[in-house]
Structure 1
Amino acid sequence: MHPIRRLLPVVALTGAALALSGCGGDTSSGTGDAGSTTTVTATPSRDASASPSAGDSGSSAPASPRGPAGCTTADLEVTLSAGEGAAGSTFYAVRLTNSSDSPCRTGGFGGVSLVGAGGRQIGAPADRTAKETATRITLRPGQAAEATLQVATAENFPAGRCRPARAKGFRVYPPDETHSVFLARPTTACRNASVHLLSLKPYQRAA
């Protein structure tokens, strides 16, 4: 009886040691696999797949779990109305139509400037007005947003101050985009950047 009682703790201790040794081996192997394959590799893959998308499109409004991705220039058909003259200015509607197969988000301000030969910008870009009305808009395929562009007549300013130049049209950047669209509309621009001919209101949902 007594020898058997003395052996039991030794057997139990040996079993526990074996169990601990087995767990340690599994943990070491699992950590190595997870660190090199699952955690280290998989996590950057998700980040890398998102970054080129935003970088290629130039958009600062990537996909969100709470809504669709931002509209890229490639998603949009950009057009300009014929224009209506009033009080020494011409007013245009810059229209962005979602020509993609998916909803996308836009709204707020884009960029507009007058350009000449070779796409060179002439004078100052459009000033942003009515900022309090800026809002985000979701456009389903086929839906559009519009912004009012006011272009003051260059001849309203003394030639010595304006330094007039012939512009071939407008360079238009949709909101949150670095890729532009050229819209041909010959007019007179001012090379003097202190003369601000253009002003742009925020994009609103088109009727």
Structure 2
Amino acid sequence: MGPGAEQEESAEIRAAFARPSTPLPPPPGAFARIRRRAAARRRRRVLTVAVVACGAALATVTVPAGFLTDRLGTLSDHFGSGGDGTGPPAERVVPAGDPPATGRSAESPRESSSGPARTPSPRPSDSSGPPEDEATGPAAPKTPQCSGAILALSRQRSEQAAGSRYMTLRLVNADGPACTTRGFPGVSLAKGPDRTRVGSPAERSGGPGERITLARGEAASFVVQLADTGAYERDRCRPGGADSLRVYLPGRRESVFLEVNGLRTCTAEGYRTLHVTALTRS
């Protein structure tokens, strides 16, 4: 092959590679997507700066509840169009189950546009009463408290020992309805037709006892101890006589009297010669 043929072949090769090429057009909407992505990057930068600034402010200043959420929402709404008006507005995403912050107290009532507000159901009571199906029936009658109108007072026995006089008194439900009582009777000495008190009231001795229910014919008893005035200095004690015991039943304001001869006690203040025990079933 001669030189002329080689030159002709090289020209054909160069002509093949030198053919003009037509560029491909960009896909539809490519430029719009590029603009939206750029706008999203700008929004993220602005929100990041806002969060950092608010965090620094919160470190030194106390702000009302919901302030940060409202401000961030305003910024997001402002920059939601992408800054150039070509992109769709950004949406605020709220986690499921968490209502948006409004700055109101959790205890304040919320208005509803879709219907009437629901009334919260009452919390279950911690009462120890009967179940609902049992509470609908008639209430059981309550046993009344024992009073002087129900119980009759009498002296069961009296004895002298160790410088004191011990009197066992008895309360009997002779012909009344069942009643309950518990604790210490109030006891003092009295004299004369006007039942004037003599000396100090009785002090309590021993435990408070248990609640007693007295049906018809049943009785309860207690002990009254009266110390001998001879154990005290006469000038300071100032002994005086009495002819009856005044007894207040536990928890009652009315009193009953029991005549007892030969009672003596110190009339001076500060001398406790009288003691009483709690009621017990007899």
Report TM bin, short chain. 0.5 to 0.7
Aligned counterpart, 1:80: 155
Residue 233 of structure 2 aligns with an amino acid whose one-letter code is P
Aligned counterpart, 1:181: 256
Distance in 1, Cα, partners of 2:205 & 2:140: 31
CA deviation vs aligned residue, 1:102-138 (integer Å, no higher than 9, x gap)? 110012111110112221111111101112x421100
Distance in 2, Cα, partners of 1:188 & 1:170: 11
1:196 aligns with 2:272: yes
1:166 aligns with 2:241: yes
Moved over 4 A (4+): 64-67
Distance in 2, Cα, partners of 1:126 & 1:193: 13
Residue 247 of structure 2 aligns with an amino acid whose one-letter code is V
TM-score normalised per structure 2: 0.48
Report 1:27-106 matches (<5 A). 65=140, 67-106=142-181
Q: Which has the higher contact order (CA 8 A, sep 6+)?
A: 1
Structure 1: tracts of 5 or more residues without a match: 1-63
Bigger Cα Rg = 2
Distance in 1, Cα, partners of 2:173 & 2:164: 29
Could you tell me whether the CA contact under 8 Å between 2:202 and 2:273 is conserved in 1? yes
SS in 1 for 2:259: strand
Structure 2: tracts of 5 or more residues without a match: 1-138
SS in 1 for 2:235: helix
Q: Choose which of 104, 121, 129 in structure 1 pairs with 2:197.
A: 121
1:109 aligns with 2:178: no
How far residue 100 of structure 1 moved from its aligned partner, in angstroms, is: 3.4
Residue 90 of structure 1 aligns with an amino acid whose one-letter code is R
TM-score normalised per structure 1: 0.65
Q: Which has more strand, going by share of residues?
A: 1
Aligned alpha-carbon RMSD (Å): 1.6
CA deviation vs aligned residue, 1:41-94 (integer Å, no higher than 9, x gap)? xxxxxxxxxxxxxxxxxxxxxxx9574110111001101233111000011111
Residue 272 of structure 2 aligns with an amino acid whose one-letter code is H
Could you tell me whether the CA contact under 8 Å between 2:153 and 2:256 is conserved in 1? yes
Q: Which has more helix, going by share of residues?
A: 1
Distance in 1, Cα, partners of 2:256 & 2:154: 9
Count of residues paired in the alignment: 142
Residue 126 of structure 1 aligns with an amino acid whose one-letter code is A
